Homo-oligomer: A and B are copies of this chain.
């Protein structure tokens, strides 16, 4: 190993650790993944992991953020291809649902995330990523003075549920259009008068 600066060494090992953790957490789930296994996959020992991360949850948090960055980038690039706000919103929802077909994403973001980090912490992170993109899209198509924050949060919940539902399907790709249609139906309520109290 040639001479490297400390920052380079540190960055390299943390990157390898997060990558390994993302793989194992996504495949086996948080509880069934040991720090030792992560370190081994990353090519080092437990000590290195505990030098860079306070504990298991902190490492998981880093993986969670990484997942968020990945999906929000995908959402933005997908939505950017549609000039019409409505089309962009629908396109974004479809992209999200497609992303839910990845088992690792589901395990880390939808299943373990809230249990490990807590609901508040999870949504706090997502407020800067997925939820932020969705809220922008919702705001663009909302006419009346309702709260886009609350509204997009509910839509988000429905989309997460749809993602899990889709993944459970025997033919996810084939059922995707039907689920997207139902999601679109929910979205269509955004441009409506309130129903009844």
Q: What residues make up the interface of A, taking CB atoms closer than 8 Å to B?
A: 29-31, 86, 90, 106, 110-112, 114-116, 118-120, 123, 146-147, 150-151, 153-162, 164-165, 168, 178-190, 192, 194-197
Contact = CB atoms under 8 A, between A and B. Distances in A.
A146 to B, nearest CB: 7
Copies in the complex: 2
Given A165-B153, A182-B150, A115 B119 contact: no
B182 A154 contact: yes
Contacts of A183: 154
Contacts of A161: 153-154, 156-158, 160
Contacts of A31: 31, 115
Contacts of A165: 150, 153-154
A178 B145 CA distance: 12
A140 to B, nearest CB: 15
Nearest to A120: B168
A164 B190 CA distance: 21
